[in-house]
Structure formats: structure tokens, C-alpha cells
Amino acid sequence: MSYLKNNAAGDGRSYIHGFGNQFESEAIAGALPIGMNSPKTSPLGLYAEQLSGTAFTATRAENRRTWLYRRRPSINEAPQEPYAGNDSWLTAPLRDGVLDPRTLRWRPPHARGEQDFIGSLTTIGGNGSAPDQVGCAIHIYNACRSMEGTAFCNSDGELLVVPQQGSLEVQTELGWLTVRPGEVVLIPRGLCFRILLTDRSARGYVLENYGPAFRLPELGPIGANGLANARDFQCPVAAFDAQESDYRIITKFFGSFWVRQLGHSPFNVVAWHGNLVPFKYDLERLNAFGSVSYDSPDPCISTVLTSPSPQPGTAYIDFVAFPPRWQVAEDTFRPPFFHRNVMTEFMGLIHGIYEGKNDGFLPGGFSLHSCMAPHGPDRDTYVQGTQEASVPKKLQGTMAFMFETKLPVYLNPAVLDWPELDRDYVNCWKGFAPTVV
Ligand code: FE2
């Protein structure tokens, strides 16, 4: 498979492939009960426990749950106490959130203190309401420590992590995933996890989805194949910690942090089966589509995952990636066109140069174009786009992405004071001469 030859190498771990399947995995053969979920006595004496990601009564198509067979139930053995937590991780509705109509862009933020993944999470903005299970929050992380002896469990939503620098070793109750920049990992609501660093530091972006779980977009006339193919999603195989060691479990419960102590690892699930699973996905596997005749399609053609709203065809969140691909449309302005959008667009850059900006949009940086904010190519990109030869061209060495949301994003007011805010951003659109009429 020559197209993916540069990223086809595995990370040494075993995974189960597929999206939305009913998976099952055993770290010890025979640990799963056969033909039933909750026998009077489970194999190996394990405790059976169900993790429900949707209402018991959700439609079969929506229903997500997983049965865990573990060395101890995940009940609290010790009192759960309020925890100071991370006051930079905000939860919607944002009490002091700011709506700002300007086109905004930030350079890559510097680390603020020596934190692990959870401690370093800093909210850029959010919308909707976690208690109402509507909307999302957008965060960045900038970690330089592993989560040793600490696990985290988020009651407020699933977490889509987009690493930009530094690989992550993600331990979950269902097993391990290794995730490098260019891949993304999704951790379901309520699943315990911790993140270890393999490099000196790690940074990236996080989308916290309070609403309906991410799923693959419909393909419509594209057909049965294309975009993110289900078989390319990878979920872990069962793996458990057998040793007894002290752990603290931090939870976020509708914006407030709590902590409890355990005398053992929460990662003690010996076997599991179900369809509520963490997974990772390599964005370069996106089977990108584009015009083979004329005009550039809307960016939704590159949707990887979507969280639908009750409004038909309109998502609370679309996660869209812009991977390397050929551009062949004839007599067409190929860079992203000028536009205004009822949806709010948060963009990040994992590596390379984004096709719509020649300068100033840096890997690790991000931009926010809110509802109806005019934006588009900077002037240099525009000039190049109008002058380039109408021949096939391959965009290479780039990976940008967008979180697009139907609700306006209320900003964490602190980010408007950050030194990384690019106060010259609008200058990239200076110099457009009037047309001759
Ligand atoms: Fe846009």
C-alpha cells in the first residue's frame, strides 16, 4: 500500500480494528463469561460491571455500553473529597465567558508551569452546557510530566485529544494506546485513564464533547467507502495492573473536581466486551475527497467525526482534518475561498503549512473564526491561488484540522490577554486592491 507506506508502521501494541463494533477482549483466556453478561459467579471470580455511555433505553443504533470484568469493582472505597483541581480547565456554561466577533489567532502557547496532562489543560472556550449535555469545550495541553499514580475520569463528556508535539502513552480501563502527533485519540465519558509522556514534553489540543458521542459522518452519494474508514480505527486490547499500589482518582463532575484515594490501580479490568471504547485514528488514513472537475468543495468534505444536533444536517461539532492530497480542479481558485459561516470554526495546525495561510499560522497555534466572521486566504495565498497553473498539484507535508460547532464559542477571558495572541492577525488581509469596477 504505497500511499500510506510512510505511516503504516505500527507502534508495537496490539489493537482491535473497527468503529462502533461490539468488540471483546481478554487479557487472560477464559475471563469473559460466555452467553451472558452477569453470571452468579464470573470466570476467575472477577466482578462484572457495566459502563453505560447512553441511556439504557437509547435506540439500538445509538446505544453504547461496555461490560467490564475486573479484579475489584470501581466503587468508592474511600470518601470522595472536593479537589482544587485545575482552575484553568473551565466547564460550560463559562461563568465569565466572552463572545468576541473578531477573527482571532494565537501563536503556540508556552507551558504554564510543570504539569501533567490533566494539570496543564487550559480552556480556550466553550459553548452549550455540560449539565445539559449540549455543546463542547476546546482546550490545549502543554505537559511535561506523566500522570504517575494518578488517574482521571471525566463525567462531563468524551475527550478527543489531538497531539501536536510528543507521543502519548494512554492507559485506560480497557487497555493501552500509543498516540503520536498525526493521530488522535478519543476517551469516552466516564472511562478512567492516565497519560504518560514518552518525550520531555507534549502539547496539543483537546475537544471535550458534552453532547452526543462522536460518530462517523454519513457518506451520502460518496457511497459505502471513503473519508475515515471504519476499519482504520483502533481500540486497545484488555490489559490490567496486577500490583497493589496507591492511586488517586481525580474526577471532573460538571465543572467541579473531586479526588479519592485507592490502595490499588483502577486499571484492573481483565476482560471486557461492548461498543463504548477508547480508540485512536491516524489522520493520514483519511480518504480525502475533492473536486475532479471545477470549484473547491466545502470543507465538510473532510469530516472525520461528527456529533449531531437535533437540527438535521447540523452538528454540534464536526471534527475535520486537512491531510496531504492532490488538487486537480481546473480553472479554479484552489485555496480556501473567502467566506462567512453561521458555524464557528476553531482551527489548529499539527505540522506543515496550512493551505489557506502563507504566514503566521504556526504548528501548535490556533485560530477562532466565530459565527459570521469574514475570513479566507491571506493576500499572498490569494495572489498565488489566482496565478498558479491549472495543473495537478499535491499538497504535501501538512496536517491541519478544524473543530466546527453550531454554537458560538464563549472564550476564556484569559486567552485574550495571552502574549501569544497575534494582535496583527488582521494585517494578513491588508492590501486587497479594489476591482476595476
Ligand atoms: Fe472557514
pLDDT digits (tens, 9 = 90+) for 190-205: 999 999 999 999 999 9
Gap from CA of 291 to ligand 1 centroid (Å): 18
Gap from CA of 116 to ligand 1 centroid (Å): 33
State percent of the chain over pLDDT 70.
98
Gap from CA of 131 to ligand 1 centroid (Å): 29
Residue 9: predicted pLDDT: 56
Burial class (CB within 10 angstroms; exposed 0-12, middle 13-18, buried 19+) of 28: middle
Gap from CA of 299 to ligand 1 centroid (Å): 8
284-429: CATH class: mainly beta
Q: Which of 104-113, 205-214, 399-408 has the lowest mean pLDDT?
A: 104-113
Q: How confident is the model at residue 1 (pLDDT cuts 50, 70, 90)?
A: very low
Residue 253: predicted pLDDT: 97
Gap from CA of 157 to ligand 1 centroid (Å): 26
Gap from CA of 339 to ligand 1 centroid (Å): 6
Find the radius of gyration of the CA atoms of the chain: 22
Burial class (CB within 10 angstroms; exposed 0-12, middle 13-18, buried 19+) of 107: middle
User: Sign of the C-alpha dihedral, residues 66, 257, 412, 199?
Assistant: negative
Q: How confident is the model at residue 359 (pLDDT cuts 50, 70, 90)?
A: confident
Distance set, CA 151 to CA 117, 168, 246, 261 (Å): 11, 15, 11, 10
Phi, psi of 105 (to 5 degrees): -145, 145
Gap from CA of 293 to ligand 1 centroid (Å): 22
What whole-number distance in Å separates Cα of residue 11 and Cα of residue 430?
A: 46
Residue 244: predicted pLDDT: 83
> What mean pLDDT value characterizes the chain?
95
Gap from CA of 340 to ligand 1 centroid (Å): 7
Gap from CA of 298 to ligand 1 centroid (Å): 9
Phi, psi of 356 (to 5 degrees): -95, -10
Domains 3-86+141-281 and 284-429 share a fold: yes
- Region 17-22: what's the mean pLDDT? 97
- Region 308-319: what's the mean pLDDT? 97
pLDDT digits (tens, 9 = 90+) for 149-173: 999 999 999 999 999 999 999 999 9
Cβ contacts of residue 287 below 8 Å, gap of 6+?
225, 226, 227, 228, 229
Gap from CA of 351 to ligand 1 centroid (Å): 19
Gap from CA of 345 to ligand 1 centroid (Å): 6
Residue 377: predicted pLDDT: 93
Gap from CA of 347 to ligand 1 centroid (Å): 9
Gap from CA of 420 to ligand 1 centroid (Å): 21
What whole-number distance in Å separates Cα of residue 146 and Cα of residue 235?
A: 22
Gap from CA of 103 to ligand 1 centroid (Å): 10
76 or 352, which is more confident?
352
Gap from CA of 346 to ligand 1 centroid (Å): 9
Residue 2 has pLDDT above 80, yes or no: no
Residue 85: predicted pLDDT: 83
Gap from CA of 210 to ligand 1 centroid (Å): 23
Gap from CA of 50 to ligand 1 centroid (Å): 41
pTM of the model: 0.97
pLDDT digits (tens, 9 = 90+) for 109-122: 998 889 999 999 99
Domain boundaries, the chain: 3-86+141-281, 284-429
Gap from CA of 301 to ligand 1 centroid (Å): 13
Gap from CA of 341 to ligand 1 centroid (Å): 7
pLDDT digits (tens, 9 = 90+) for 325-348: 999 999 999 999 999 999 999 999
Contact status, residue 424 vs residue 159, Cβ threshold 8 Å: no
Pick the CATH number of 3-86+141-281 from 3.30.2130.10, 1.10.240.10, 3.10.450.50, 2.60.120.10: 2.60.120.10
Cβ contacts of residue 243 below 8 Å, gap of 6+?
265
Gap from CA of 406 to ligand 1 centroid (Å): 13
